[in-house]
Homo-oligomer: A and B are copies of this chain.
Amino acid sequence: MSRPLKLGVAGLGTVGAGVLKLLADNADIVAARAGRPVEVSVVSARDRTRDRGVDLSNVAWVDDPVALAADPRTDIVVELIGGSSGPARALADATIAAGKPLVTANKALLAIHGAELAQAAETAHVPLAFEAAVAGGIPVIKALREGLAGNRISRVAGILNGTCNYILTVMREEGRGFAEVLADAQALGYAETDPSFDIDGIDAAHKLAILAAIAFGRPVDFDSVHVEGIRGISALDIGFAEELGYRIKLLGIARRTEGGISARVHPAMVAKAAHLARVDGVFNAVVAEGDFVGPLMLEGRGAGAGPTASAVVSDVIDIARGRYTPVWGAASGALSNMPSAAMEDHVGAYYLRLMLLDAPGVIAEVTAALRDFGISMESMLQRGRAPGEAVPVVLTTHDTTERAMRGAIGRIGALASVLEPPALIRIEPA
């Protein structure tokens, strides 16, 4: 067998330790599939003394991760530091400049600087691989970019953040409120101390931006992704969803529309029988729709040491085998120039929950506002009666534009008889 392939690994947190463990435990399998042994020759991490449960005795250390790029002991650099700027970005630039393949699990880096990095990698004829950046162990980048390569993809949608899916699953199963379930998730280690990256939808939006770029063959465009998180989801809305035959999921959805590529992350009502409605807990799932393949569904673990290490090592093996795919599926000259669609042009059905003063004429004011914006109602549901007090009223609409809905909501929210800001959740077809 040939000379070992030598990795420089930057970052030895959960994922970094997982990669080292995989390469040690499955050295035989990795060597067979890569065509040569793969070993970690140099690492860079902050704490040299912490016990990570992996043998580091034959591994060299460098203090500055960026030094891994030019280090003659590395053939490939594996960036597991995280963050869209700082050392992660510097290491990525340096690795490409050094003409070495870069493997990263860093979705923020790819989402925000991916267009630039991909261009640099193409110019330098260097592989830039990031299967671990989206949906953890699920090989969704490979499936979309290579497995469905012959298809015109019309839509890709997914549950891309396990923390949010876990919180929403527990809220539904136990009928509890958001804040309480979040606190539990933090105690269990399923949510970070500062959870905003996850629960405000940013992490999912990073991943969706990458998926959309792959699915539609164009450079990543994070700024065009509409992002909403799950802080506003209440037990009340989860109850109504159940009653209406839906589950509430934080979805990332990218679609080819007449106005361009639409990409959005927001809580959505999904019919209970739909695939994505049945993905619970920390699992991730992605559904893609191609013109020849039809619907394709992938589900698996979206985070954690093992699944992420699995994805990182699959990239390393691809590189070892010389399997090369342009970052967005095609060389820069052959990428699509479809524009991004504005969220205001989104067309879909809506769930609107209002806290209304239980008094004559109130519903008439609300429905008049909808009518004035050309919005057609599909159903109305009122729970309980409390004359002179607030009662929840749920309206669902037929397809309408986001623009019209925002106009109507503005008018409705300003009504004296509307006692809380309206809760709006988009209804997503299965």
Contact = CB atoms under 8 A, between A and B. Distances in A.
Interface of A is mostly: mixed
Interface string A292-322: 1111111111000011011101101110011
Interface string A33-53: 111000000000000000000
B334 A32 contact: yes
B310 A293 contact: yes
Contact of A310 (B142, B148, B323): B148
The 4 lowest CB-CB distance pairs between A and B, nearest first, are A139-B147, A150-B313, A137-B293, A32-B330
Contact of A314 (B35, B147, B326): B147
A309 B295 CA distance: 14
Contacts of A297: 297-300
A294 B138 CA distance: 10
Contacts of A16: none
A152 B147 CA distance: 22
Contacts of A296: 137-139, 298-300
Given A137-B292, A331-B35, A310 B217 contact: no
A298 B217 CA distance: 23
Contacts of A138: 296
Given A29-B152, A33-B145, A143-B298, 14 more contacts: A22-B292, A29-B149, A31-B334, A35-B330, A137-B290, A142-B142, A146-B314, A147-B311, A150-B310, A150-B313, A275-B299, A278-B278, A292-B307, A297-B298
A142 B147 contact: yes
A151 interface: yes
A292 B26 contact: yes
A69 B282 CA distance: 50
A385 to B, nearest CB: 38
Given A35-B331, A323-B324, A142 B146 contact: yes
A330 B26 CA distance: 14
Contacts of A325: 321, 323
A394 interface: no
Contacts of A314: 146-150
A335 interface: yes
A318 B329 CA distance: 11
A203 interface: no
A392 interface: no
A291 B306 CA distance: 8
A330 B33 contact: yes
A81 interface: no
A18 B292 contact: yes
